[in-house]
Amino acid sequence: MIDARGLAIGYRGGPTVLTDVTFSVMPGERVGVLGPNGGGKTTLMRALLGELESRAGTFTIEGRQGTVPQTERSRLDYPVSALDVVLMGALGRGPWWRRPGRAERALAQAALERVGLEDRARETFGELSGGQRQRVLVARALMQDADIVLFDEPFTGLDTPSAARLTALIDALAAEGRSVLVSTHDVGQARAWDHVLCLNGRMIEFGPPEHVLTETVLAETYEHAVIRIPDGWPRGVTQSAGASARA
Ligand SMILES: Nc1ncnc2c1ncn2[C@@H]1O[C@H](COP(=O)(O)OP(=O)(O)O)[C@@H](O)[C@H]1O
Ligand SMILES: [Mg+2]
């Protein structure tokens, strides 16, 4: 589905911010993307979406991509309903001049049902909780029938029940043969997925969690800001200096 070799990525007119990215993702795999703030998680996702050019290396992507971007409050002032957001996933399916019709609306409603939000279709997207917004965006990816779903820090700010729901949805997407990339600050969570990709300005390591989630790799990824918990597994990490720690 995705195969990247020696990628280097930068922003237009700026320096290269991420180098040495080599990894591959097969259908049905869940990949956790770890890294400190500014480590390059969003940059990698934007490059995979074709928004940024690679400056070195090669990558191939097979299949349709869907994205669940970080939902910032500041961007939520549009008076669009949850159903409208899901319907945006239908753009690109038909000719651009055709407005979504009854068939698309039925598909969008079905997608909302899959994420457990069938009764929220008419609510304003921006007024939903963080967890509900994430699920609406998952429904949009379902509407796109995405083969690859990219989640950028979807768990940030979610309470435990919402996070559990989202984890179950991610598992379900993968079980259907979709590839899922999820950036997270929760090392313990990444441990349950198929592969882990560690970034800190460059790719530190990629592989199955049992190979990647070692003290050495995590220390390099987070520059020694790893928090320990009693079961011996590094669980959370401190964000950049001064920011609060998440566990
Ligand atoms: N739009 C942008 N233009 C230029 N540099 C950027 C832009 N967005 C991010 N960067 C830089 O790219 C690096 C990686 O950032 P980012 O991918 O956002 O990290 P993360 O998502 O892991 O927190 C940082 O050094 C950041 O300053
Ligand atoms: Mg980011």
What CATH number is associated with residue 11? 3.40.50.300
Residue 36 CA to ligand 2 centre (angstroms): 9
- Would you say the CB of residue 132 lies under 6 angstroms from ligand 1? no
Measure the CA–CA gap between 154 and 222, rounded to whole angstroms. 20
Residue 162 CA to ligand 1 centre (angstroms): 27
Per-residue model confidence (pLDDT) at position 225: 64
Do residue 116 and residue 74 come from a single domain?
A: yes
Nearest atom of ligand 1 to the alpha carbon of 46:
17
Instruction: Supply 7's token pair.
Output: 């990628």
Helical axes 160-175 vs 130-143, angle rounded to 10°: 10
Domain of residue 78, residue span: 66-146
pLDDT tens figures, 38-92: 999 999 999 998 899 899 999 999 988 888 887 655 466 678 899 999 998 887 6
- Ion ligand 2 neighbours, Cβ < 5 Å: 41-42
- Would you say the CB of residue 42 lies under 6 angstroms from ligand 1? yes
Largest CA distance in the chain: 58
Three-class SS of residue 120?
Answer: helix
Q: Pairing between strand 226-228 and 234-237?
A: antiparallel
Three-class SS of residue 104?
Answer: helix
The total number of structural domains that make up the chain: 2
pLDDT tens figures, 130-183: 889 989 999 999 999 999 999 999 888 888 998 899 999 999 999 999 999 999
Do residue 95 and residue 124 come from a single domain?
A: yes
Q: Which of 100, 119, 146 is the last residue of a domain?
A: 146
